[in-house]
Amino acid sequence: MKLKAKIFNWLAGRPVVVINQKTAEKLNVHVDERILLSSDGKKIHAVVDIFEKIVKNNEIGLSHEVNSYLKLKNNSKVEIIASELNPAGKIIKKKIEGKPLSKKELQIVISEIVQNKLTEPEIAYFVAAEKLRGMSLQEVINLIKAMVKSGNKLKFKQKIIADKHSIGGIAGNRTTPIVVSICAAAGLILPKTSSRAITSAAGTADVIETIANVEFPAKKLQKIVNKIGACLVWGGALGLAPSDDKIIQVEHILNLDIEPQLLASIMSKKIASSSNHIIIDIPYGKSAKVETKKRAKKLGRKFKQLARHFKLKLKIIYTDGKQPIGKGIGPVLEMIDVLNVLKNDPHAPQDLRKKSLYLASELMKLCNIKNSRKKAKEILESGKAYEKFKEIINTQNNAEDFDKRISKLKPAKFKKIIKAKKTGEIAEIDNRKINTLCNVLGTPETKTAGVYLHNNIGKIKKHEPLITLYSESESKLKDGLKYYRQYNPILIR
């Protein structure tokens, strides 16, 4: 049956169409059922809403998520197929029941996610099954292959392509822009793609986006890297392993971290971007993603197994994750920290500076650069890393306005300084609670929101400032304060 498409400027968060009751009866579909739309060889599933006011008989209103794929003009015809068997649903159910999935089955699930054919609860079931049933090494390898296959690949002429990755979980910890700037200044090729926040206040892509464009098509990105040796972009826009962002969105609903998905997400992006010399930072600590060094090593071994299978040179760096790294947490606040380190500002957070230098020198060593420790320090202190960073940002913006952009960086307008209630020792700064606090304040969507940590673990005097909360919304600031008082992310003894 053909219907007349009405293109609405309607962001629904998932593929939805609206029809009126009469059209629904003709199609024999009901609210919340799915229909398959087809036009010009492209097919997409969408959930049905009934909405009398905005569509007439034989019309169908398309949400942005539907038409960004079909690209129909207003009033053009679209073919409706009332129902279709859903093979991915059966496969997900199989995994929930504890049976391992084959290469073919994982390909179907990933491809349907990429094509927007699965609804959020279906993806939630898949994610929960991955977490609770676990996945074998072979399943993770097949998941990685399916994810790589479903998207684009970057290609470079050079033999050594370097990459640095942190598994996340530590608030702040924005080492990537610094490491990439140092290593690129040392001559390495780093097509660095990052994700947006999962359970943290910000991902590297969220942070870079405060001053630069991070969304590029694959071809444009290859040009940038060929020209200046590096980039700092969002992986999602490149279409590398594109199922990832949809899955992350559903994981985010409960702030879940799923190990097989973590492994597959990281490795598929490295493979799709042709990286072959990789260091992975696994921080461990009570409030980190990984609680103990033992568990960190267990996870590290899995990365190494995968690297062996895919023939990649990979080194795991186990780092201290018992507190946040850096002072600002949240996209803009973290960018300010990064700039202070790159500018060798004496007020720059020293923990962030030290860790970035360490990771940069380890990556340089992995890529056969001699005296890497000394060289990394020299590149940072001489300002060469800062210049490289400026070059990356200006190139991504296709403009020479770096100074103007960074001069505009300012945290959110509503703020609240919380002071120490007693003299003593800061015994603990909980990464998870700090991240959740930032989410309550509006991160990562609101780039200017977040917190500023005035002190690390160590001595503190009564009435000294502990933390400043920032939000663009008074009600979110109030919620943040409520959260702070209830959960006490900073423990003073």
Active site positions, annotated: 257
Of positions 18, 179, 272, 338, contacts a second copy by CB under 8 A:
18
Q: State which of positions 65-94 bind a second copy (CB under 8 A).
A: 81-85, 89, 92-93
**Nearest approach, Cβ of residue 34 and a second copy (Å):** 10
Q: Tokens at residue 304, please? A: 């190494």
State which residue, 16 or 205, has the beta carbon closest to a second copy: 16
Cα 224–Cα 239–Cα 99 angle in degrees, nearest 5: 145
Among 38, 76, 96, 305, binds a second copy (CB under 8 A): 96
Q: Would you say 6 or 327 has its CB closer to a second copy?
A: 6
When asked if residue 119 is in the footprint of a second copy (CB under 8 A), the reply is yes
At 362 the three-state DSSP class reads helix
Which has the closest alpha carbon to 171: 412, 443, 413, 416? Answer: 443
Instruction: Decide whether 395 or 471 has the Cβ nearer to a second copy.
Output: 471
Residue 254 within binding range of a second copy, rule CB under 8 A: yes
What is the total count of residues that contact a second copy (CB under 8 A)? 61
- We find the least distance from the C-beta atom of residue 10 to a second copy, in angstroms, to be 4
198 binds a second copy (CB under 8 A): no
Q: Is residue 59 a contact residue for a second copy (CB under 8 A)?
A: no
> DSSP H helical segments within 118-193, as ranges?
120-133, 137-149, 176-185
Strand 2-7 to 59-62 pairing: parallel
Instruction: Tell me how far apart the terminal alpha carbons of the chain are, to the nearest angstrom.
Output: 70
> Do 329 and 480 touch, CB atoms closer than 8 A?
no
Q: Considering only 115-123, 145-153, 190-198, 461-469, which stretch makes contact with a second copy by CB under 8 A?
A: 115-123
- Among 203, 199, 171, 194, smallest CA distance to 258 is for 199
Taking the CA atoms of 215, 451, 389 and 188 in sequence, report the sign of the dihedral they define: negative
One of 121, 347, 408, 458 touching a second copy (CB under 8 A): 121
Query: 74, 255, 398, 423: which one contacts a second copy (CB under 8 A)?
Result: 255
Stretch that binds a second copy, among 120-128, 179-187, 237-245, 282-290 (CB under 8 A): 120-128
Q: Do 337 and 351 contact (CB within 8 A), yes or no?
A: no
Residue position matching structure tokens 């992310």: 489
Please pick, from the candidates 3, 37, 47, 60, the single residue that binds a second copy as defined by CB under 8 A.
Answer: 47
Q: What are phi and psi of 134, to 5 degrees?
A: 70, 170
Q: Give the whole-angstrom CA distance, residue 185 versus residue 179.
A: 10
Q: Which stretch binds a second copy (CB under 8 A): 183-191, 305-313, 327-335, 441-449?
A: 441-449
**325's tokens:** 């790294």
The reply on whether position 291 binds a second copy by CB under 8 A is no
Please report, for residues 14, 224, 290, 319, the alpha-carbon distance to residue 431 in angstroms, rounded to integers and kept in the order given: 31, 35, 12, 14
Q: Which residues are near a second copy by CB under 8 A?
A: 8-14, 16, 18, 27-28, 30-33, 47, 49-54, 63, 81-85, 89, 92-93, 96, 119-125, 128-129, 131-133, 249-250, 253-256, 440, 442, 445-446, 472-473, 475-476, 479, 482-483
